[in-house]
C-alpha cells in the first residue's frame, strides 16, 4: 500500500491489482453471480472501484463455471475493475463441508482471473472456546503455507481468532509474515448482526496493531454505514457489503446513522436517488422487483456517501471528531467508542504530533484522544518533578490571549512551575501556544476544580488575581521566551533535549506585530522556526545536527547512499530506500535523514510513524524541508 493521507491509524491509500488501483478506504459490493440485481459496472457511478463475488458459487454451477473458465470472472459479472473472490469458507461453515479443498479453490480463483483470491480459512464463531479458536488460527495459517504460487493474484489470508484478542494478534502476526498480501478480518458477521461493537473494537485493534501496515486490512461482511467510520478510525482499509441487497429485500433503507423500515417512513431524504421521483405511497405500489432494485440503489448510495465523508475527514484530519459525534447515535456505538478511548495509549505512537484541524473538546471523554493524552502525560511528568507549582486561576488566564503581558511578568518573577487550567487539567504555561492547547475549540463543559487541581500535586497552590500586585513587585529572574522554546522542544522530542539544542548561546526572535516566537538562532544561523499553525519547530540543517547530537542518534532515518545524495538536494525520502529508523518517530514530526555513513543529509517531516516506517515499499516516508547541499547553497 501507498499512503496518501492519514489520521492516526486511519488512512487514505492505494494499492495496485492486475485490473487497476484500489483507493482506500472503500467498500466492495457483494455480487451474487446467480442473481445480479444491479449491474456491477453501473456501481462505478457511486464510486465502487472493486467488487467481490463468490468463487465457490461460480465453481459449483456448471454454466457459471464454464463461462468464468472460458472468459474470466470479470466478463462473467460484467465488471472491468478489480474483482476479489471468496472461497466458500462461509458455506463450509454453514453446511459442514464443501466438495473442494483449499488448494483446489485457490487454483480455481487463479484460473478465472481473480485479482484478489482467498484461501479456504476456518471460520470461528464468537461462542468457540479459546482452544477451538486457536486450532482454527493454526490451521488457517497452515493453509496459506500450502500455496506455493499465486500466479500474480493477490492472496488474501484471513485473520481469525473468534473474540480472543490474543488469538487475533497471533493470527495477524502469522498472516503478516506469510505470502498473503491482503488481510481480511474474518468471523465478525455474528458480532455485527448482534451489535456487539465493543467486541469488534478489541478484535480490530488486536488485528491492526499486530499486522503489517503495508498490507490492506479488510473487515469481512461489515458494510453498514453506521460502523464504517469507527472501523476506519481503528485502521480498517476495506469492507465488503451484501447489506445493500439484503436490507432491500426486507424493504429497509440504510442511512448513515442506522436503518429505517419503508412502512414507517414519511418521506425520502434529499440525497436519496429516489427523492422527487416517488412519494412513499407511490413507491409502495411498485412491483416487488422494481422496489428491491430502487432500495438497493439507495442503500449503495448511503454506503458510498459515507465512504466519501470518511475520506474527506481523514484528509481534513477530523475523523476522530466525526466518530465521536457519530457514536452518540446508538448506545452500542457509544460503548464501542469508549472502548476505543481505552485503547488510546496503545494507539498513541501512530497518531500525528498535530493535526490540520483544531482540537474539539466536548466533555471529559474528548481528553482521551491520543493528541490530548500525549500532552497530559507530558504535563503530568513535568508537574510531578517540580518543587513548586503555581496554578493560575482562570480569572488570570484560561488559554485565551496567550500574549497578555501580565503572563510574562508573572512568569519571569518566579522560579515556580506555572500552569494554567485547560479543560479542567493543569498544563505548563510554556506550552500555551502549542497544539492542541491554543488550537482548540471548547464546549465550555469543563469546570475549574481547585481542590482536584491542588490535590493531584501536593506542592501546588492556586494563584488568584488578588495576589498579582505582590508578585509583580519582584524583579525578573528568568527569560520566558528561552524557557518556552526549550519546553516546546522537550514536548516535541524528549524531556531535556530543549536545553541541549537551545543552549546558552541561542537567541530568540519574536514577531514585532504579535509578540509570538518566530525563530531560534545561534551564532547568526537559524536553528529552528516555530510553526504558527501548531506551535512546533521546523528545524534547519544546523538544528538537525544539534538534535542528533543531543538525542543520541534518535529521531532519524538512515537511507541508502544513492538516496542520501538525492535527499541532500532537497528531494523527499521514499520508503523503499530506508535502511533503519527510530521506531518512536511521530508522524508529522521533524525527522533527520542520514546517509549510510551516519552523516545528516536532510531534515523534514515524517509522513508515517516510526512503528510503520520501513514496512511500506512505496510512497514518501519523509517530506524533506532542507537538504545539506541545498542548505549549503543558501548559506544556512
Catalytic residues: 86
DSSP line for 535-564: S-EEE-HHHHHHHHHHHTS-SEEEE-HHHH
88 contacts 129 by C-beta, under 8 angstroms: no
**DSSP SS3 for 344:** helix
Stated as kind and residue range, the H or E segment containing 340 is helix 331-342
Backbone angles phi, psi at 456, to 5 degrees: -65, -25
Residue with grid cell 451484501, as numbered in its chain: 242
What is the distance between the alpha carbons of residues 170 and 177, in angstroms, rounded to a whole number?
11
CA dihedral sign of residues 404, 408, 414, 420 = positive
CB atoms within 10 A of CB 438: 18
Label residue 204 left, alpha or beta by phi (over 0 means left) and psi (-120 to 50 means alpha): alpha
Contacts of 107 (CB under 8 A, 6+ apart): none
Cell of 49: 472501484
* The 3-state secondary structure of 240-296, one letter per residue: EECHHHHHHHCCEEEECCEEEEHHHCCCCCCCCCCCCCCCHHHHHCCCHHHHHHHHH
Which 8-state DSSP code applies to residue 297?
H
What is the distance between the alpha carbons of residues 87 and 82, in angstroms, rounded to a whole number?
16
* Length, in residues, of the chain: 636
- Pairing, β 83-86 against β 258-261: unpaired
What is the distance between the alpha carbons of residues 426 and 392, in angstroms, rounded to a whole number?
9
Which burial class, exposed, middle or buried, applies to 633 when counting CB atoms under 10 A from its CB (0-12, 13-18, 19+)? Answer: exposed
What is the distance between the alpha carbons of residues 353 and 78, in angstroms, rounded to a whole number?
46
- CA angle centred on 230, ends 314 and 606, rounded to 5°: 35
602 contacts 628 by C-beta, under 8 angstroms: yes
Taking CA atoms, 587 is separated from 315, 552, 575, 604, 636, in Å, by 14, 20, 14, 11, 26
Residue with grid cell 508578585, as numbered in its chain: 471
Contacts of 295 (CB under 8 A, 6+ apart): 247, 248, 251, 252, 253, 262
CB atoms within 10 A of CB 351: 25
**DSSP SS3 for 98:** coil
105 contacts 97 by C-beta, under 8 angstroms: no
What is the distance between the alpha carbons of residues 10 and 6, in angstroms, rounded to a whole number?
6
Amino acid at each position: 500500500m501507498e499512503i496518501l493521507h492519514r489520521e492516526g491509524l486511519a488512512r487514505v491509500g492505494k494499492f495496485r491489482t492486475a485490473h487497476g488501483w484500489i483507493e482506500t478506504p472503500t467498500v466492495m459490493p457483494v455480487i451474487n453471480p446467480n442473481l445480479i440485481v444491479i449491474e456491477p459496472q453501473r456501481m462505478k457511478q457511486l464510486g465502487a472501484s472493486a467488487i467481490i463475488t463468490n468463487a465457490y458459487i461460480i465453481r459449483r454451477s456448471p454454466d457459471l463455471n464454464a463461462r468464468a473458465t472460458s472468459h474470466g470472472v470479470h466478463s462473467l459479472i460484467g465488471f472491468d475493475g478489480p474483482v476479489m473472490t471468496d472461497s466458500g469458507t462461509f458455506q463450509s461453515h454453514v453446511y459442514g463441508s464443501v466438495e473442494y479443498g483449499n488448494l483446489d479453490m485457490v487454483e480455481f480463483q487463479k484460473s478465472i482471473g481473480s485479482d484478489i483470491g482467498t484461501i479456504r480459512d476456518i471460520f470461528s464463531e464468537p461462542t468457540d472456546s479459546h482452544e477451538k479458536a486457536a486450532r482454527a488460527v493454526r490451521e488457517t495459517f497452515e493453509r496459506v503455507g500450502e500455496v506455493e504460487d499465486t500466479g500474480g493474484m493477490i492472496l488474501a489470508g484471513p485473520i481469525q481468532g473468534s473474540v480472543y484478542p490474543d488469538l487475533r494478534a497471533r493470527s495477524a502476526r502469522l498472516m503478516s509474515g506469510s505470502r498473503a498480501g491482503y488481510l481480511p478480518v474474518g468471523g465478525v458477521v455474528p458480532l455485527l448482526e448482534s451489535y456487539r461493537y465493543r467486541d469488534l473494537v478489541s478484535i480490530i485493534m488486536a488485528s491492526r496493531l499486530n499486522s503489517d501496515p503495508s498490507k490492506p486490512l479488510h473487515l469481512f461482511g461489515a458494510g453498514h454505514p453506521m460502523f464504517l467510520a469507527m472501523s476506519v478510525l481503528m485502521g480498517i482499509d476495506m469492507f465488503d457489503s451484501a447489506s445493500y441487497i439484503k436490507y432491500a429485500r426486507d424493504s429497509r433503507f440504510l442511512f448513515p446513522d442506522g436503518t429505517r423500515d419503508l412502512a414507517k417512513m414519511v418521506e425520502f431524504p434529499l440525497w436519496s436517488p429516489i427523492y422527487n421521483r416517488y412519494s412513499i405511497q407511490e413507491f409502495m405500489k411498485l412491483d416487488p422487483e422494481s422496489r428491491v432494485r430502487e432500495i438497493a440503489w439507495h442503500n449503495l448510495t448511503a454506503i458510498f456517501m459515507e465512504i466519501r465523508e470518511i475520506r474527506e475527514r481523514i484528509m481534513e484530519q477530523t475523523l476522530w471528531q466525526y466518530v465521536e459525534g457519530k457514536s452518540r447515535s446508538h448506545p452500542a456505538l457509544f460503548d464501542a467508542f469508549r472502548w476505543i478511548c481505552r485503547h488510546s495509549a496503545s494507539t498513541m505512537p501512530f497518531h500525528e504530533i498535530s493535526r490540520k484541524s483544531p482540537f474539539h473538546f466536548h466533555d471529559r471523554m474528548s481528553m482521551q484522544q491520543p493528541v490530548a493524552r500525549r500532552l497530559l502525560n507530558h504535563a503530568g511528568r513535568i508537574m510531578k518533578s517540580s518543587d513548586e507549582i503555581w496554578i493560575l486561576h482562570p480569572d488570570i488566564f484560561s488559554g485565551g490571549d496567550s500574549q497578555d503581558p501580565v503572563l510574562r511578568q508573572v512568569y519571569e518573577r518566579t522560579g515556580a512551575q506555572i500552569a494554567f487550567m485547560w479543560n479542567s487539567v493543569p498544563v505548563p504555561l510554556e506550552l500555551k501556544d502549542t497544539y492542541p492547547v491554543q488550537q482548540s475549540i471548547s464546549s465550555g463543559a469543563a469546570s475549574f476544580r481547585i481542590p482536584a487541581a491542588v490535590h493531584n500535586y501536593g506542592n501546588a497552590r492556586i494563584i488568584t488575581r488578588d495576589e498579582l500586585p505582590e508578585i509583580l513587585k519582584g524583579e525578573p529572574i528568568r527569560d520566558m521566551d528561552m524557557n518556552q522554546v526549550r519546553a516546546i522542544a522537550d514536548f516535541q522530542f524528549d524531556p531535556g533535549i530543549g536545553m541541549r539544542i537551545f543552549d546558552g548561546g541561542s537567541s530568540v526572535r519574536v514577531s514585532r506585530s504579535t509578540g509570538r516566537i518566530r525563530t531560534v538562532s545561534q551564532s547568526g544561523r537559524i536553528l529552528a522556526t516555530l510553526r504558527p499553525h501548531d506551535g512546533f519547530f521546523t528545524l534547519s540543517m544546523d538544528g538537525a545536527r544539534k538534535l542528533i547530537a543531543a538525542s543520541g542518534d534518535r529521531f532519524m532515518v538512515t537511507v541508502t547512499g544513492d538516496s542520501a545524495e538525492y535527499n541532500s538536494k532537497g528531494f523527499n525520502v521514499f520508503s523503499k530506500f530506508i535502511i533503519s529508523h527510530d521506531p518512536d518517530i511521530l508522524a508529522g514530526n521533524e525527522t533527520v535523514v542520514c546517509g549510510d555513513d551516519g552523516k545528516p543529509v536532510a531534515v523534514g517531516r515524517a509522513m508515517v510513524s516510526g512503528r510503520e516506517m520501513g514496512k511500506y515499499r512505496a510512497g514518501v516516508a519523509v517530506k524533506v524541508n532542507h537538504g545539506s547541499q541545498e542548505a549549503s547553497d543558501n548559506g544556512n
